[in-house]
Amino acid sequence: MLLALSKKGHSKSSTKAPLPGLSLYLDSSQDKVFKPNDIVSGRVIIVTPHIITPQAVEVTLWGESKVWIRTQSSDSNNSTDYKHYRDNAPLFAVTSNLLSGPCQFVPDQSYTFPFSFRIPEGTDFNRNGCYENSNDGRWTVFPHKLPPSFFFGHQDRPDNCDISYGVNARLLLSGFGSADPISSTAPILFQPSNAQALTENQLSVIRYPKNFTVQSSALTGIDPKSIGFRQRMHDRISSGTPKMDFELGIELPDVLSSGSEFRFRTTFDVLSKGEKVTHIPEITFKVLKLNLLDFTFFRAPRDWEALNLMSGVHSTRFPKKQRMGFQGQEYNIFREKKTQLNSLPEFIVMELPEVQEEGEKKGMEQAKHCETWFTARIPGYTPPSFTSFAISRHYRLIVKMGVECGGKKFEFETESHVKELGSAISENGI
C-alpha cells in the first residue's frame, strides 16, 4: 500500500502559467510504525506543463519536537495580554539531492526519483544553553535516543507539545513567479525499540512491605462467620484475645511494555503470634485499586517575536531579530492522568499449609508464609516513557491491596516508580 501526498503549485498571478506538480509516495502503509535503523523508502514524481531546469530535487527525512504554551493576564481596563512560549527543536534531518546533475524536464512526461533513508537511533544535537535550567532532570539538553511520535494537548490550540517525524520533498527552481519551493510532506510514525526485549535481562521488582496486627477469636480455629457482635467487641478490647502480627508485601516490576501483560506478587508473612493462637484461618487477597499514572512535562522559552494576541502570530512589519541561546523567561507545564487497569484474578483465597516444624521438633505446624500472583495489562495505546529536550513522559503504578484474615479486613496502598515503560513489542520481537 502506498501513502501519497502531493502538492501542485500555482503562480500568484492568474495570467501566468501554472507551476509544476510534485507527488511524494512512500512504500509503506500509513499506519506503519518505524523503529531505529529501519529503511524509509519511496519515490518522488514530477510533472511540468513547461520546460524547466530544476536546481535540485531534495528529499529530507526529519524529526522534530515542538512546544507551544500561552499565558494571559488582564489589567483594570479588562484588556487581556497574552504571552507565548515556543520551542522548535530539531531532532535530526538527513537530506539528499535526487538529481545526479543538471537536467531539463519537458511537458507530457513523468519524472520518477526513488529514494531511501535509514532512521537513526538518536539525535546528535546539543541544546545546552537553550533553556532556563539545562540541569533540570525532567528533561535533557544532551544527545539522546529518539523519542516516540507523541502529541499531547489539542491541535491548533496552545499548551500542546508534539514530537513528529516525516519525509519532505522539494523541487527547487527559479523563474516561475514563486519564491517558495514546490514541496510535499508525508508524516511517518516512529517508536523506539523495546530495550527490555533486546537485553533479555531478568525483570527487577520493587518490594513494599507493611506490618499489621490481627486480634480475633478466629485465631483459635473458630469459624469467623460464627463470631457474633458481642464477641467481636470483646475481642477488640480484651488483652486476652489471640493476637498475631503479620507483614503484607507487594512486589511490583519497574519495567513495563505498552500492550503487554505484567505480573505482580503479594506476600503474607507471619511475624509473631501469641500462645493462644492455634490456627490461622484462610487469607483472602483482593486488588482494590490498580492505576497507571502518566506524567507529561513540557517547557518552552519565551517567543519574543510573537505578538501579544491570542493567536501569537509573528509580526511581518519588522524583521526577525537574531537571538542566540536562552533570552530569559521560560514556562513549563506538568500534566498528570490516571488510567484504571484491571487485574486477574478478581481475588484469591489461600490457606496456610501444614509444614514440618523447624528445629529438633518432628511435629507439624502451619506455614508462616504464602504468596500469590496477579496479572494486568498495559493498554496498547500507551506511549512509551522518554526524556527529550523539552518534552518528557514518565509513569508510576498505584496498587491498593485488600487482605482479610479471621474476619478482619486490612488495606495497603503503595505508589511505585516505573523506571521504563517500553514501546509495544513488534512482530520481530523488538
Q: What is the pLDDT of residues 306-359, one digit of tens each?
A: 888 888 888 766 555 555 566 678 999 999 999 999 999 999 999 998 888 776
Query: pTM of the entire structure?
Result: 0.86
Q: What angle do CA 395, 398, 401 make, to 5 degrees?
A: 155
Per-residue model confidence (pLDDT) at position 31? 93
Per-residue model confidence (pLDDT) at position 326? 63
CA torsion, points 320, 310, 295, 166, in degrees to nearest 10? -50
Residue segments in the chain with a per-residue pLDDT below the cut of 70: 1-17, 76, 175-180, 196-203, 235, 316-327, 359, 361-362, 426-430
Closest by CA position to 247, among listed 276, 283, 291, 288: 283
Domain 3-191 adopts which CATH fold? Immunoglobulin-like (2.60.40)
Per-residue model confidence (pLDDT) at position 177? 52
Residue 245: beta bridge partners? 213, 272
Phi-psi region of 226 (alpha: psi -120 to 50; beta: other; left: phi over 0): alpha
Sign of the alpha-carbon torsion through 273, 274, 279, 280: negative
Domain boundaries, the chain: 3-191, 198-299+324-422
With contact defined as beta carbons under 8 Å apart, do 94 and 165 qualify? no
C-alpha cell at 247: 507483614
